[in-house]
Amino acid sequence: MWGGRFGVAPDAIMQKINASIDVDKRLYAEDIAGSIAHARMLASRDILSARDAAAIVKGLEAVRCEIESGSFVFRTELEDIHMNVEARLAELIGEPAKRLHVARSRNDQVAVDFRLWVRGACDRADAALREFQRALIDRAEKHAATVMPGFTHLQPAQPVTFGHHLMAYVEMAGRDRARFADARKRLNECPLGAAALAGTSFPIDRSHTARALGFERPTANSLDSVSDRDFALEFLAAASIAAIHLSRLAEEFVIWTGPQFGFVRLSDAWSTGSSIMPQKRNPDAAELVRATTGRLFGSLIGLATVMKGLPLAYSKDMQEDKARTFAAADALMLAVAAMTGMIDDLTVDEARMKAAAGAGFITATDLADWLVRELGMPFREAHHVTGRIVRRAEEKGCDIAELPLADMRAIEPRIAKSVYAVLGVENSVASRTSFGGTAPANVRRACRAARAKYL
């Protein structure tokens, strides 16, 4: 490729460290699409004859068929996907293949290939997260009125419904999808034609190739075009945040499937056993999703570290971008699919959830609200009175709903028997009718709204 300048072949170790074909061969479809667009543009500007362009396009389509059929032989000595495709094209069509690389460099070639791939990865992530939302909404509709404890600090706080809890993750996934869509919109500019770093003296039409490849416009600065990897960093950032959300739900599955909670059960399809303990039923799928977050964080920080000290324009360090991005995209897709499968598979123990929702004085806030609403008591005073009632119930070993009225009146004489109506967990969740609250009617409306918005 650069034999005119060099008189000695690269050292074997140099060849090994320099080659990227094992990683970037995944870009074959994007590389061929970019080359076809480039050839057709060159022909439209009379830089390349129509006959040569037609031969190049036909040859590139043949190369694509060979790769997709598995008959293509990738050669390490050719370094990367670009030179592997170009070398095979030359074998197939001869002299016209040598004319393809006019007015471009591997720098803008890899930039357009990688942008195309990341754009597709954003679309794939969006589709997977949409299916994840579908599973959550389906399950939330079934459990819009299934009472469970809501937690703060992992301590019982207030009753909620399981459907409401799941819908929180629908909102998280919606923000994840918006981040991928935003990243996709920002990356959708075409660097092809920036050449090595300075543009080209040939009368090319960059808008032509941008349109042909589905980009909104060409990139505006040739230096930035070949040195920018913001689009990969944004993808990795969006993927990392999505992984955080998946990991939080996975952690809850790990907790909820244990006998101490017993809220849900995963079938054999999503559980594993132990090599020594016959009774074990491990939520390994959830644990592995939880662990996947580390890989995505590592990819993001790794690429950010590569990019942070690079002067303009292209540096070989940037060859590290693809392995990290490919690995992160693969990990995210697997994690989303696993969580979607687990949600579809869940068996919910509604009785166990309801029993847990009644423990830990979880309707204390309802009692405080009743004191404010019925007795006109300032909330801070109601909070104090309720705290004393909770302490009395704790001393007597019962829940506040089971505490005799006389004990409550010993603390606040104006408390009436009607207070017991707000102390049941079903009444508690039904009362939370403010927008975004956990009342079953709210949850059902939220499910309908989410279907319309996201699905």
Structure tokens at 381: 């005073």
Question: φ and ψ at 326, to 5 degrees?
Answer: -60, -45
Structure tokens at 298: 């590592």
- By DSSP bridging, strand 147-152 and strand 189-190 are unpaired
Among 42, 36, 43, 48, CA closest to 95: 48
What is the pTM for the complete model shown? 0.93
Is residue 331 within 8 Å of residue 296, measured between CB atoms? yes
Question: φ and ψ at 239, to 5 degrees?
Answer: -65, -40
Structure tokens at 309: 């000290």
Give me the chain's average pLDDT, please: 95
Element at 149 (helix H, strand E): strand 147-152
**Residue-level pLDDT at 5:** 57
pLDDT tens-digit map of 403-431? 999 999 999 999 999 999 999 899 999 99
Is residue 299 within 8 Å of residue 327, measured between CB atoms? yes
**pLDDT exceeds cutoff 70 at 2:** no
Tokens 């009753």 identify what position? 159
What string of DSSP letters covers 118-131?
A: HHHHHHHHHHHHHH
**pLDDT exceeds cutoff 80 at 442:** yes
Tokens 């140099």 identify what position? 14
Active-site entry in 82, 105, 222, 274: 274
Question: φ and ψ at 293, to 5 degrees?
Answer: -55, -40
Asked about 274 being catalytic, the answer comes back as: yes
305, burial (CB in 10 Å: exposed 0-12, middle 13-18, buried 19+) = exposed
Cβ atoms < 10 Å from Cβ of 229? 23
Structure tokens at 91: 């074998």
Give the chain's radius of gyration (CA, Å).
30
199, burial (CB in 10 Å: exposed 0-12, middle 13-18, buried 19+) = middle
Position 113: which residue type?
Answer: D
- By DSSP bridging, strand 264-265 and strand 347-348 are antiparallel
Tell me the C-alpha distance between 362 and 381, whole Å: 19
Active-site entry in 49, 101, 143, 153: 153
Tell me the C-alpha distance between 197 and 108, whole Å: 8
Element at 249 (helix H, strand E): helix 230-257
pLDDT tens-digit map of 270-327? 999 988 998 888 999 999 999 999 999 999 999 999 999 999 999 999 999 999 999 9
Tell me the C-alpha distance between 430 and 352, whole Å: 19
**Residue-level pLDDT at 14:** 66
**Residue-level pLDDT at 80:** 95
Tokens 């667009």 identify what position? 37
Going by pLDDT thresholds of 50, 70 and 90, the confidence category of residue 358 is: confident
Q: For 340-353, what is the mean pLDDT? A: 97
Structure tokens at 421: 């109506």
**pLDDT exceeds cutoff 80 at 56:** yes
**Residue-level pLDDT at 349:** 98
Contacts 24+ apart (CB under 8 A), 386-391: 389/364, 390/361, 390/364
**pLDDT exceeds cutoff 80 at 184:** yes
Asked about 49 being catalytic, the answer comes back as: no
Structure tokens at 292: 């996947």
**pLDDT exceeds cutoff 80 at 3:** no
**Residue-level pLDDT at 12:** 72
**pLDDT exceeds cutoff 90 at 182:** yes
